[in-house]
Each structure stands twice: as C-alpha cells, then as structure tokens.
Amino acid sequence: MTKFEALGLQKSLLDAITDMGFETPSEVQEKAIPILLESETDLVALAQTGTGKTAAFGFPLIQKIDSDSRTTQGLILSPTRELCLQITKEMQAYSKYERNINVVAIYGGASITEQARQIKRGAQIIVATPGRMKDMISRRLVDISKIDYCVLDEADEMLNMGFMEDIKDILSGTPNDKSTWLFSATMPREVATIAKKFMHSPQEITVGAKNSGASTVQHEYYVVGGRDRYPALKRLADTNPDIFSVVFCRTKRDTQKVAEKLIEDGYNAGALHGDLSQNQRDLVMNSFRKKQIQMLVATDVAARGIDVDDITHVINYQLPDEIETYTHRSGRTGRAGKSGISMVIVTRSEQRKIRAIENKINQKFLSKKIPTGMEICEIQLYHLANKIKDTKVNEEVDAYLPAINDVLEGIDREELIKKIVSVEFTRFFNYYNKSKDLNSSDSGRDRDNGKAEIPTSGSVRYFVNVGERDGYDWMSLKDFIRDTVGLGQEDVFKVDVKESFSFFNTEAEVTQQILDKFTDFKVDGRFVNVEVSKNPGGGGGSRRRSGGGGFRGKRNGRRDEGGGKGRRDGGSQSKGRRRDRSESSAPNSGKRRSNKRKGDFF
Ligand code: ADP
Ligand code: MG
C-alpha cells in the first residue's frame, strides 16, 4: 500500500497521482486528506507556499463530488487569475480518470459569456477569483446555492488584495451546512475573522515552516510616494539600529547620491559602483567587512560577488529592471544559515512588480508599513534601555564615582533613569515628533503622544522584553504568549520579534488578562515583562519571522575621532536638527562613520 493509498484515496485518484509522479504525500496532504475524506468538517490549514496545498484539498474534493449530478458542488476561491488557471489545470489532471467531472475556471480579463457557457454545460467544481465570481453571481450566470464545499485558497493573499467584502458576499449566498476549507500561508487577523464568522468549529492543522524548505530570507515591501524613498530608507535604518545592509540602487548616479546623503545625515554609509577605482572599491569593501560601514549603497554590477556573511538586510531602494536581479540581490542576506530580510521600497504604480517577483521566487512578500516617527522613537527607547541593561560595567569608572555621585546627588532613581534615557531619546523625538506618515494610501494612523493607557476596545499592541536573543521567532513567541495566558489560536497577532524585544497584538478584551499574567512572571529566573505599547497599530499588519534589530548601535553623540580632515564637518548635524520636518537630514548625526574622506568614495 502506498502512502497515498493509506490516506484513503480511491483508485482513480491514485492512478492519476502515479501519472503525475507524486510518490509520497507532503505533510499538509498527509494531515488534511484523511480529515477531509472521513468527515464533513470545516478546516483551517496553515502551510507555506509550495507545500502542496492544492492537492491537499483537490484530491478529497474530487473524491467527494457526485459526478452523476451536474450541479455545482464545489467552489474554490483563489486570489489571482494565474492561480485560478493553475489550480484548474491541477484539478483536471487529478480528475483525469474520473468520469464526468468538469472543473471550470472563472476569472477577470476574459470573456464572461464564454465562461458562462462552460458553467452551463455543468461544472461540478468552479475555481474562481472573488471579483469575477461576484460579478457572475449578480448576473445570475452561476448558481452556488447548492454547493457542499467551499475552499478558500491562499486566504491571506485574497484578503491582502482587498477581497474581504467580495468573499463575504459570495459566502452569504452559499448553504449554511456546507463545509469550508481554508488554506493559507499565514494567519493574519483578517483571516481569523473570516474563520470565526463563516466557519463552524473548524479543525486546524499547521505545517511547520521547517519542512517546507522555506528560505531563510523574508521578503517585505513598503509602498511610499515617489519622493519619499529616501526618508523611507532612513526610517528603515532607524527602525533597525543594528542594521548591516546592502542598499541597491539602479544607477551609479543614484548609488552615489544616496550614499552621499546618508553620510551627510550621519549614517555609517559607503558607495560601491563602477566609477570608483579598484583601490577605492577595496577600501569601501574593507570598511564594510569590518562593519565600519553599516549601509553599503551599491549598484548590481558592483555588488556582484560580495562575499560578506551576516548581512541583516538587503534594501531595494529601487527595484531592478530584471526579476532575476532581485534574486541575486536578496541572496546577499540569509547566508550561512542565518535569517535575513529583503526589503523593497516601491511606489504604488510599481506594486504589481511585487507579484511578478513572488511568482518567480515562489515566495510571498509581506506588505509592511514604514514605521511612524513615534514608533521609531519607541523602538529607539527600548533599544537604549536594553543597551544600558546589557552594558558591561567598566570598573575603571570606580575612581571617579565619588565625584560623579556628587554631581548627581539628590536625583532619585526614577528621575535618573529618565534623564539617562532622554539623552538619546530626545534627539530622535525632536526629529520625528509630528513627522508625517510616509505610507502611500494610508488612511492616517493617528497617534497621540499621551501616555499609554489600558485600552478598552480595539486592537492592543504590546511590548515584551524577550526576542530573538532569547530563542524566539514569531511563531514560538506567539505560542508562548498564547499558552501562558491561555488564549485561543488567533488571539495573538502581529507578532514582531526583534533581537532583544518584541511586539505583539491582541484584542482589548484580553488585555487585562495578559497584563495580570505577566506581572512578576518569570521564565528561567528572568522576568518576562509585558507592557501596553504606546503605538496601537504597530508593525504594519503583517508578521515577521525575525527582525534584524538589536542594540549594538554605535551612537556616541559625537563625530568619529578621525578629525575633520577634508570632510565637510560640523555642518550636517546642526542642519539635521533644523530641517527635521522634511526628513532631509538625520536625527542620528552622532552615528559613527568610517574614517574615509568623501573623496575616497565618490
Ligand atoms: P502550494 O499551494 O502549497 O503553494 P502547490 O499545491 O502549488 O503548493 O504545489 C507545489 C508543487 O508541488 C506543484 O508543482 C505540485 O505539483 C507539487 N506537489 C504537490 N504535492 C506533491 C507531492 N506529494 N509529491 C511531489 N510533488 C508534489
Ligand atoms: Mg497554492
């Protein structure tokens, strides 16, 4: 007996499986197929892209369809025309030995009359995009009032694309007692909402990312206005204080310009492009290897063969012309078993290129928001607090302590902490206070600058003082919080794990429960502290597997010791303060720079 046979699949399907060359079921297939065959149940299945989800619902669906009836019995909703066609093709291949099973694809951009005609001939299974499906329902060209099974494939993606309302409308016209099978790579809040609203105590299966061969690189994109690319880049850097990155630009000119601006704004940046002499390039690469340069701005050609491990982020300041180039760029991070993040800054009109890349690399992008100024301030603040905590005390200060104590006399602990933290924080605060939201098409995420109170409604964001360094990634941290507090599967979301701290969200109803549980709560003798974060939105609506942030920043409040030889010294810092609103300059002019003169780089 083959492993597929053991799952309970019928002979005709097994023959088709043999023809397709599948030998063993994938994990999601092994888990989902028996459940779906044996019972009439709702199901939520979470598994990464490329884990064989189509067959996981396709085989059981075909086996359960009554081929003697021409009534439409199964509806598969999928986000795009391409996926729709792909699923249809797969379903046709699976059902090649079935008698009289018709699978019809319905999607936009093709003749609706032709699709209606195919339906009319009798389609037991329809594979549709939500938009066209709704259209055809309203024109009474399809009848889904008698379906037994509804599959929501790539549910997270459908909701990402704004199909929530269409899906609700479509489902509202289907029988209440049908079974709904939801397949998704991730479980964001919107998907959980759909599951809650339209499913009846669904069974749940999760397939670990480990078995999917998922890449160690996470892909993220940020949609901004065309003129906000540079300020967006800076915010991404400020959100990740320990960034060690390659920033890709399309032309030598842009490469030079961006690097020049970053240096002027006080970042540890350098440029790498073909107009530099070999000697200049060697100098830049040496500084980069030694991490004196944290942001290497490079053209694709010049960056070829960069053999530096530990790169935390690849930033696509502009997308490349060729999709293949993107693969090369993102491959600069996530090396040597480490995780990495590839970020893309796009304008709204470029967004469709993201889909094209996803298809090519067979991996999904997370749509993320450029953090607001106040979010960056918060991150920097926690960063600093942790840095202070982790600082190894230098015994040499002992000799000066009496004098220092004299100076600080009469200041109590709380005030002293506030003062210490303010030294660094005020710089960021002054810079980012009242700065605008850079996210294109954002409906305005209002922030108030008041103190965090315990909210009573809506979604609540929390800060927790554990992170990657404590061995957590977003999945394990989510599990930890859920299990500790005793919450349900979807109650913890937007988990954003940084190096030494993390953020997550819950609904306000459980806030008190969370805060109560994490009062004086210790793991391995260490306090795990959860606080309501001042920023209710947080993170940008999607989740991260890992963050590159952390607390090793080298801002010492003054320029490097290299002296001002030949540099335009002294100017940028004060300029940065003055021009803060436009974000044309940086808050962190104290960040250490490499000692190279500008002329050496450009
Ligand atoms: P997902 O929907 O999870 O992204 P797909 O269903 O599109 O994944 O499957 C990805 C690829 O794996 C497809 O080319 C499919 O034909 C193939 N595949 C699926 N199941 C198996 C299996 N059991 N053995 C070998 N290949 C499989
Ligand atoms: Mg799929």
Ligand nearest to the CA of residue 58, numbered in listed order:
1
Q: Of 157, 181, 206, which marks where a domain is finished?
A: 206
Residues 6+ apart with CB under 8 A from 463: 378, 382, 501, 502, 503, 530, 531, 532, 533
pLDDT, tens digit, for every residue of 198-218?
A: 899 999 998 864 323 345 788
Q: Of 168, 183, 206, which marks where a domain is finished?
A: 206
Say if residue 447 is in the same domain as residue 548: yes
Under the banding of pLDDT at 50, 70 and 90, the label for residue 444 is: very low
Q: What is the pLDDT of residue 257?
A: 94
Residue span of the structural domain in which 260 resides: 217-367
Q: 378's torsion region: left (phi>0), alpha (psi -120 to 50) or beta?
A: alpha
Residue 424 has pLDDT above 80, yes or no: no
Poorest-confidence range of 102-106, 228-232, 239-243, 436-440?
Answer: 436-440
| 332 exposure class (CB count in 10 Å sphere: 0-12, 13-18, 19+) | buried
Q: What is the pLDDT of residue 208?
A: 62
The helix-helix angle for 373-390 and 229-239 (nearest 10°) equals: 30
Say if residue 348 is in the same domain as residue 249: yes
Say if residue 187 is in the same domain as residue 258: no
Percent of the chain with pLDDT over 90: 39
Q: Is the pTM of this model over 0.75?
A: no
Residue minimizing CA distance to atom 18 of ligand 1 = 52
Retrieve residue 388's tokens: 């202070």
Distance CA 247, CA 233 (A): 9
Assign 23 to helix, strand or coil: coil
Mutate which of 18, 22, 92 for ligand 1? The one with the most ligand atoms within 8 Å of its CB, which is 22
| Residue 580 forms part of a structural domain | no
* Residue 268: CATH number of its domain: 3.40.50.300
Instruction: Say yes or no: CB of residue 56 within 6 Å of ligand 1.
Output: no
DSSP state at residue 224 = B
Rounded to 5 degrees, what angle do the CA atoms 441, 442, 443 make? 115
Q: What is the pLDDT of residue 596?
A: 32
Say if residue 43 is in the same domain as residue 127: yes
Say if residue 110 is in the same domain as residue 241: no
| Residue 588 forms part of a structural domain | no
Q: 494, 505 in Cβ contact below 8 A?
A: yes
The contacts found for 110-116 with CB under 8 angstroms, 24 or more apart, are: 110/81, 112/136, 112/139, 112/141, 115/141, 116/141, 116/142
| Residue 595 forms part of a structural domain | no
Q: What is the mean pLDDT of residues 315-334?
A: 85
Residue 547 has pLDDT above 60, yes or no: no
Under the banding of pLDDT at 50, 70 and 90, the label for residue 300 is: confident
| Residue 211 forms part of a structural domain | no
Assign 230 to helix, strand or coil: helix
Instruction: Say yes or no: CB of residue 58 within 6 Å of ligand 1.
Output: no
- C-alpha distances out from residue 247 to 188, 273, 311, 424, 545, Å: 29, 12, 11, 26, 21
Q: Of 206, 229, 253, which marks where a domain is finished?
A: 206
Assign 32 to helix, strand or coil: helix
Say if residue 275 is in the same domain as residue 305: yes
| Residue 225 forms part of a structural domain | yes
| Residue 596 forms part of a structural domain | no
Residue 513 has pLDDT above 90, yes or no: no
| Residue 329 forms part of a structural domain | yes
Q: What is the mean pLDDT of residues 331-344?
A: 78
DSSP E strands in 422-485: the ranges are 459-464
Assign 350 to helix, strand or coil: helix
Burial 100-111 (b: 16+ CB within 10 A, else e): ebbbbbbbeeee
Under the banding of pLDDT at 50, 70 and 90, the label for residue 113 is: very high
pLDDT, tens digit, for every residue of 32-44?
A: 999 999 999 999 9
Q: What is the pLDDT of residue 594?
A: 37
Residue 434 has pLDDT above 80, yes or no: no
CA of 86 to the centre of ligand 2 (A): 9
Instruction: Say yes or no: CB of residue 26 within 6 Å of ligand 1.
Output: yes
How many domains does one find in the chain?
3
* Residue 412: CATH number of its domain: 3.30.70.330
Say if residue 283 is in the same domain as residue 339: yes
- C-alpha distances out from residue 587 to 87, 134, 231, 437, 450, Å: 50, 50, 12, 17, 22
Distance CA 503, CA 425 (A): 19
Instruction: Say yes or no: CB of residue 18 within 6 Å of ligand 1.
Output: no
Assign 110 to helix, strand or coil: coil
Say if residue 472 is in the same domain as residue 433: yes
C-alpha closest to that of 420 among 432, 431, 408: 408
Q: What is the pLDDT of residue 599?
A: 27
Instruction: Say yes or no: CB of residue 54 within 6 Å of ligand 1.
Output: yes
CB atoms within 10 A of CB 541: 17
Say if residue 378 is in the same domain as residue 352: no
Ligand nearest to the CA of residue 76, numbered in listed order:
2
C-alpha closest to that of 428 among 261, 248, 308, 589: 589
- Residue 217: in which H helix or E strand, if any? strand 217-223
Distance CA 587, CA 431 (A): 6
Under the banding of pLDDT at 50, 70 and 90, the label for residue 557 is: very low
Instruction: Say yes or no: CB of residue 25 within 6 Å of ligand 1.
Output: yes
Q: Starting at the edge strand that comes first in sequence, how are the strands of the sheet with 43-46 ordered?
A: 103-106, 125-128, 74-77, 149-152, 179-184, 43-46, 203-206
Q: What is the mean pLDDT of residues 394-423?
A: 88
Say if residue 183 is in the same domain as residue 48: yes
Distance CA 422, CA 408 (A): 15
| Residue 279 forms part of a structural domain | yes
Q: What is the mean pLDDT of residues 341-370?
A: 88
Distance CA 484, CA 496 (A): 18
Ligand nearest to the CA of residue 127, numbered in listed order:
2
Say if residue 360 is in the same domain as residue 254: yes
Say if residue 175 is in the same domain as residue 229: no
CA of 26 to the centre of ligand 2 (A): 13
Residue 93 has pLDDT above 80, yes or no: yes
